[in-house]
Amino acid sequence: MSEPRYRSVFHPGLFDGRLMWVTGGGSGIGRCVAHELAALGARVVISGRSQDKLDRVAAEIGQDGGRCATIAFDIRDEEAVKDGVARVIAEHGPIDGLVNNAGGQFPSPMAAISKKGFDAVVANNLTGGFLMMREVFNQALSRRGGAIVNMTADFRNGMPGMAHSGAARSGMSNLTMTAAYEWAHAGVRVNAVAPGWIASSGMDTYGPAMRALIPQLKNHVPLRRMGVEAEVSAAIVFLLSPAASFITGVTLQIDGAASLGSEIFPLGAASNSVAYDGFHRAVTPDVLK
């Protein structure tokens, strides 16, 4: 019996020979995207701050027959980003695509967020992503074209409880539009995805108050369930693919319509929606078990 493999909806070999870089590839959505790209023939580079996490994902991809290299650095450090991009190109060749996924935040009422905390979240989710975009464009994509997909979040109606992240994520969406316009002449497409509530390992990093809330989130989604990592990955892969060759500057919502409507129009009691079970190594977060 053959070993289980990633069940991508895209055709095998879609990214044969292409070098695709996924930041924040050591866990969560980034890990899933790296697996899918590798399953489609890409040579994948994953980066993050924890070499141990990166090594574990690279080993998984290798066991599944894919190719994955790692590089550890902090995207908030401008010189580290410059050096990291140069090193990847020197060791692996020209970069074809970037999934700007790395980031993170913590829940807090806006009135309680310190300047230090606000700056840290903006650096994680906006400044670091800008540095990666700029350097990958300047050192690689400006010469040969390619695609960038940025990670934002569901900020469409504000982000109560995470004002710092909402400000950074909406900034990344605007940055995506600007880059799409300025870099189109070089054959570079820049898009973003805005996931809503996705069942991912990041949910296990929150404190008790947020962990108590997480299992109830599905009750506020019209599809009456949370999304899964493979559903975000599929959207990212499409935006990287030739099928999206005339799509640039968009932010794609992946939230089950949670950001639409209001309490005035009540949700239905149930939904027939079924999650896309694509990632064969997906693990349910402990907080949802």
Task: Give residue-wise pLDDT tens across range 4-27.
Answer: 789 999 999 999 999 999 999 999
pLDDT confidence tier of residue 159, bands split at 50, 70 and 90: confident
Q: What is the mean pLDDT of residues 78-87?
A: 98
pLDDT confidence tier of residue 3, bands split at 50, 70 and 90: low
Q: Which residues pair with 252 in a beta bridge?
A: 193
pLDDT the model gives residue 288: 85
pLDDT confidence tier of residue 114, bands split at 50, 70 and 90: very high
Question: Is the pLDDT reported for residue 126 higher than 50?
Answer: yes
Question: Is the pLDDT reported for residue 273 higher than 90?
Answer: no
Question: Is the pLDDT reported for residue 268 higher than 50?
Answer: yes
> Which runs of E-coded beta strand occur in the chain?
19-23, 43-48, 67-72, 97-100, 146-151, 188-195, 198-199, 227-228, 251-254
The residue with tokens 């069942």 is: 199
Question: Is the pLDDT reported for residue 54 higher than 80?
Answer: yes
Question: Is the pLDDT reported for residue 204 higher than 80?
Answer: no
Order of strands across the sheet that contains 67-72: 67-72, 43-48, 19-23, 97-100, 146-151, 188-195, 251-254
- Domain layout of the chain by residue ranges: 19-258
Taking the mean position of all CA atoms in its chain, how far away is CA 3?
A: 27
User: What pTM was estimated for this model as a whole?
Assistant: 0.93
pLDDT the model gives residue 1: 38
CATH number of 19-258: 3.40.50.720
pLDDT the model gives residue 203: 79
